[in-house]
Amino acid sequence: MTFRGKYLFVNADAKVGELLVEVLDKDGRVIKPFTRSKCTAIRTDKASQPVKWGRQADLSALAGQPVRFRFHLRGGRLYSFWVSPERSGASHGYVAAGGPGFVGPTDTVGGT
C-alpha cells in the first residue's frame, strides 16, 4: 500500500496477548527501524492505538512509497489499521452515521 500520513494506528483487542508490527518494502524486506523487535507491544483493547518503534513513531520518510505492514498477533483480534497525518489518530475517513465526538461526516478528531 501507499499512504500520505505519518502515524500508524490500529483498532485491536490484545489485552490477553500482544500485537507487534513491522514495515516491509515492496519486495518483502523489513525496513529498519520499523522491525518487529523494535516495535512496542500493544497489549490493550482500544479502538485507536498508536504503533511505535522505540522512539521512532513517524513513518513520513516512507510516505508515497509502496510498503507492506506485517502484523504479528497472539491472543487477540485486529479490527483495522490506518496511517494518520496527525498524532491524534484522525483517519479523515468517513464515519457513516457519525458517533460520539465526531463533528461531521469524516473523522477529523481521532481518539488519542
| Each residue's pLDDT expressed in tens, for the chain with a length of 112 residues | 999 999 999 999 999 999 999 999 999 999 999 999 999 999 999 999 999 999 886 999 999 999 999 999 999 999 999 999 998 888 777 666 666 666 776 677 677 4
Give the per-residue pLDDT at 99. 61
Residue 105 CA, chain-centre distance (Å), reads 21
Give the per-residue pLDDT at 94. 66
Cβ neighbors of 87 (< 8 A, separation 6 or more) are: 7, 50, 110, 112
pTM of the model: 0.87
Per-domain residue ranges for the chain?
7-84
